[in-house]
Amino acid sequence: MTGTQSKPLSPAELALLFKDRYQHSPDGVWAAPGRVNLIGEHTDYNEGFVLPFAIDRIAQVAVRLRPDRKVRLISSLAERKQVSVDLDQLHPGTMNGWTAYPLGVAWVLQQRGISVPGFDLYLDSSVPSGAGLSSSAAIECAVALALNDLTGAGLSREELVLVGQRAENEVVGAPTGILDQSASLLATEGHAVFLDCRSRAAEAVPLDLARHHLRMLVIDTKVSHAHASGGYAARRASCELGAEVCGVPALRDLSPADLPEAAGLLDEETFRRVRHVVTENARVAETVSRLATTGPASIGDLLDASHASMRDDFEISCPELDLAVGTARGNGALGARMTGGGFGGSAIAVIDVAAEATVRQAVLSAFAEADYARPDIFAVSPGAGARRVV
Ligand code: GLA
């Protein structure tokens, strides 16, 4: 995908673009947000805990059902070229590039026995792709919600989370968990989503940074990653091995007190992977508890510890992310960490509102000095989840 703009089109603008290309109006427009994961990384597929929130960067789709089996797709992120496919010809190996997300969702719905007719779709997104902010889940969730509404399939948001995840796993080929789709579909404004990835119970946790004179900055390092390539799957395999050797169904079942025993059972590298997941789950619980008691200004050391664990134990950071985190911390951030799957993407920093200009300038200078690409730095706050907008 190319050319993500930071400002989303208005739903009316998207509907007009749709009409211009397809010569009729869409049946509706649906929006789904990207996310920032506050804490709880690589814990979702270990049946553990995550604490993401939706951001105001959104994917939007204008959709109109067709009377036949044809699907036509246009994306403003892919030079507005039209792709046409036959719904009956879809199978996982044949869907490529950005079209794998909407077509993958249509395919999964059909696999679940839902009768999906042909449709015309126009996509626009302001979620930067490859930035660790769930640009792909945002597309999947917008399309899943649209097709669910238009076909009257009646799936719940929790079921749509699994539709999006299955599209990602089986069509895109990334063995990811339920974090991203849950954030996009279950988030509410002003809250993070505290999700137990085993029971799938979700709780809205108030996260009002402004009231505490705080701001959350995203530092997009512009180092692009893709979870359909090796590193993510290798980490997941290490976690599964760790759980098996320790004799538990999932790493969720180990607590920090079990780590000394695990150290005796596991090879050194697998042990570090396990230690990350086990300590990260504990940090999520502690973050939720502090947010409710001492407030968001008190979670900085947990974000720092999470980053150190991902850098040293899970080994999914990269020099650009470490520089972003270290520079933010060295210039007044209360806490900072990489967010998302890793191997590139974005860092987040919680800062006092008054420190914003200093932190921004320090990060830009440090990146220029290191000869890294200029990072994109922007503030986010917890926004609304996926919804129909027209
Ligand atoms: C990606 C995946 C999620 C999750 C994170 C790491 O965003 O899509 O399922 O595993 O990485 O926390």
Q: How many whole angstroms from its chain centre is CA 268?
A: 30
Q: How many whole angstroms from its chain centre is CA 227?
A: 11
Antiparallel, parallel or unpaired: β 70-75 and 119-125: parallel
pLDDT of residue 5: 57
Tell me which residue has its CA closest to atom 8 in ligand 1. Answer: 176
- Residue intervals in the chain for CATH 3.30.70.890: 208-380
- DSSP for 304-349, please give it: HHHHHHHHHTS----HHHHHHHHHHHHTT-SEEEEESS-SSSEEEE
* DSSP element (H, E) containing 75: strand 70-75
Q: Is position 180 annotated as part of the catalytic site?
A: yes
Ligand 1 atom showing the smallest separation from residue 137 Cα = 8
pLDDT of residue 228: 66
Which CATH number does 208-380 carry?
Answer: 3.30.70.890
- Residue intervals in the chain for CATH 3.30.230.10: 11-205+384-388
CA distance 137 to 134: 5
Q: Is 197 helix (H, G, I), strand (E, B) or coil?
A: coil
Ligand 1 atom showing the smallest separation from residue 176 Cα = 9
Antiparallel, parallel or unpaired: β 49-50 and 52-65: unpaired
Tell me which residue has its CA closest to atom 11 in ligand 1. Answer: 341
Q: Which two tokens stand for residue 388?
A: 């129909």
Cβ(41) – ligand 1 distance below 6 Å = yes
Longest Cα separation, the chain: 67
pLDDT band at 3 (very low <50, low <70, confident <90, very high): very low
pLDDT digits 0-9 by tens, 125-148: 999 999 999 999 999 999 999 999
Question: Which backbone phi and psi does 387 adopt, to 5 degrees?
Answer: -160, 160
Summary mean pLDDT of the chain: 96
Q: If we measure between CA atoms, which residue out of 371, 305, 361 comes closest to residue 338?
A: 305
Cβ(340) – ligand 1 distance below 6 Å = yes
CA atoms within 13 A on the CB side of 71: 23
Region for residue 315 given its phi and psi (left: phi exceeds 0; alpha: psi -120 to 50; beta: otherwise):
left
Ligand 1 atom showing the smallest separation from residue 168 Cα = 8
End-to-end CA distance of the chain: 25
On the question of pLDDT at 293 being above 80, the answer is yes
Select the CATH number that applies to the domain covering 11-205+384-388 from these four: 3.30.230.10, 3.40.50.10470, 3.40.50.11740, 3.30.70.260: 3.30.230.10
pLDDT band at 194 (very low <50, low <70, confident <90, very high): very high
pLDDT digits 0-9 by tens, 29-75: 999 999 999 999 999 999 999 999 999 999 999 999 999 999 999 99
